[in-house]
Amino acid sequence: MFTGIVEEVGTIQALERRAKLQRTSIQAKTVLDGTAVGDSISIDGACHTAVEVGSDHFVVESVVETLIRTTMGDLATGDPVNLERSVRLADRLDGHLVQGHVDGIGTVVSRDAFEDNINFTFEVDGGVARYIAEKGSVAIDGISLTVVAVEDVGDRGRFSVTLVPHTLSVTMMGDRQVDDRVNVEVDVIARYLERLIQAGSAPSSGMTWDTIRELGYER
């Protein structure tokens, strides 16, 4: 489990691509403190297990499923990546609960700078967009962000977020341009809420989509 608060930006040191596996070496510093083989690290929002830890780098392995569902397969040597160690139970939750289980890949459709901030608009598949709500939480490349606005576009959806100077300075989002691909993870609460309703558990407690809307939430 993670918080979506990026600890540092690492650099892809080396890539080894095999038939059904990608082995990635990442140069880092902060996230190596206290990290051992077997520990979890979020790489651009995708949870990975460290299989090797050195003095200035760590190594992870991505299986085919991860390469298909995330941007890990797009990486090249020298690319920057957002890094975060898994949260400890004693830590403060400054972002929101992020599992590191990417729901889909989004595309940057616009980037608008105003003052020192940047407003990004992303487009995602409708299956992902349905879980994103205005003023709700979303993780983009592992960064916990608040959704500014949402819009349906045919069978797809768009949503926007605003990044403040601090976030731009400590993550690699400032490098993102139109048409870039990003990892998107929706709020885990939305997924479980839908599953409970589909399973028929909610009606017995009086909870339906209508009652949820009455509470101020949108489907």
User: pLDDT tens for residues 39-98?
Assistant: 999 999 999 999 999 999 999 999 999 999 999 999 999 999 999 999 887 777 777 888
So what's the pLDDT on residue 189? 83
Cα angle 133, 111, 107; round to 5: 60
8-85 and 104-186 in the same fold: yes
Find out whether 209 and 215 touch, Cβ atoms under 8 Å.
no
Instruction: Name the CATH architecture for the domain at 104-186.
Output: Beta Barrel (2.40)
Domain layout of the chain by residue ranges: 8-85, 104-186
Q: Which amino acid is at 81?
A: V
Q: Which residues contact 132 (CB under 8 A, 6 or more apart)?
A: 124, 138, 147, 150, 157, 159, 186, 190
Supply the mean pLDDT for the chain: 90
Instruction: Name the CATH architecture for the domain at 8-85.
Output: Beta Barrel (2.40)
Output helix, strand, coil percentages for the chain, rounded to the nearest 5.
20, 40, 35
Look up the pTM and report it: 0.86
